[in-house]
Amino acid sequence: MSEEEKEVKDIPKEEEIEEVEEVDDDSSKEDKKLTRRGKKYKQQISLLEAESEKLKDEVEAWKNKYYQAYADLDNTRKSLQKEHETIVKYRSQGFVEKLLPALDSFQMAFAVEPKEENVKNYVQGFKMIYSQFEQAMKDENISFINPKIGEEFDSNRMHAIQTVDGDEDGKVANVYVRGYKLKDRLIRPAMVIVTKKPEEKQVDKIEEDKEEETESK
């Protein structure tokens, strides 16, 4: 076979050329389809990621609301518990306050010593009843505020209803009615009469202090 015949034989036929071209066109279309699908998938993935972030934010918001509600509920529970403990601790205060006028009347009556023997017997019986009241109050953790004469006036436990002349300021001259305390809470202060120096004595004391200061110089 000559060289010319070989060259003619190697030239592709028209049908083969068209077939190749068609294959190339199909491949190009497939690539385009894949490219479009890829873009579509990327868009869907982006949307899903955005939705996921949104859901995460909502979950975090609801979580914060839950913790806030839990904290509020816990604070309310503690507040109610504390209030309940306070009520239990001082439950007898209202009852004692209602008893105070009667207890004061007992004390005032006992301050006057009777002369008749039969009255003395009655008073003795009432004192026994009164001591039972006192014991019941002690059992309820109620203590009595009964200042001594000459004791320093204490505004935290006492209330001055009157002042009288005395050698010193702020001394208890007399106790009108005693005070009461329930555990660490003051129910009523003791009503007392307090001493106060007369004006003349105060002036004399100031002058004496001045004289002593001059002599010391």
Split at pLDDT 50, 70, 90, the class of 146 is very high
Mean pLDDT of 99-112: 89
- For the chain, report the end-to-end CA distance as a whole number of angstroms: 154
Contacting residues for 101 by C-beta, under 8 A, at least 6 apart: none
Section 137-150 average pLDDT = 93
pLDDT confidence bin for 21, thresholds 50/70/90: very low
- Proportion of the chain above pLDDT 70, given as a percent: 76
Give the whole-angstrom CA distance, residue 36 versus residue 61. Answer: 38
> What's the whole-number average pLDDT of the chain?
81
15 has pLDDT over 70: no
Cα separation, 183 vs 25, in Å, equals 101
Quick one: average pLDDT of 15-19? Answer: 47
Count the neighbouring beta carbons within 10 Å of the beta carbon of residue 144: 13
Question: Does the pLDDT of residue 134 top 70, yes or no?
Answer: yes
Q: Residue 16 — very low, low, confident or very high, per pLDDT cuts 50/70/90?
A: very low
- Identify the architecture of domain 93-216 in CATH: Roll (2.30)
CA dihedral 111, 114, 115, 121 (to 10 degrees): -130
pLDDT > 70? residue 84: yes
Give pLDDT, residue 199.
75
Q: Across the strands, what pairs with 177?
A: 191
101, with CB counted inside 10 A (0-12, 13-18, 19+), is exposed
Q: Is the pLDDT score of 161 beyond 90?
A: yes
Contacts of 152 (CB under 8 A, 6+ apart): 170, 171, 172
User: pLDDT tens, 170-208?
Assistant: 999 999 999 999 999 999 999 999 999 887 655 555 666
Tens of pLDDT along 31-71? Answer: 666 677 777 778 888 888 888 888 888 888 998 999 999 99
Give the pLDDT mean for 109-135: 88
Residue 89 pLDDT greater than 90, yes or no:
no
Give pLDDT, residue 201: 55
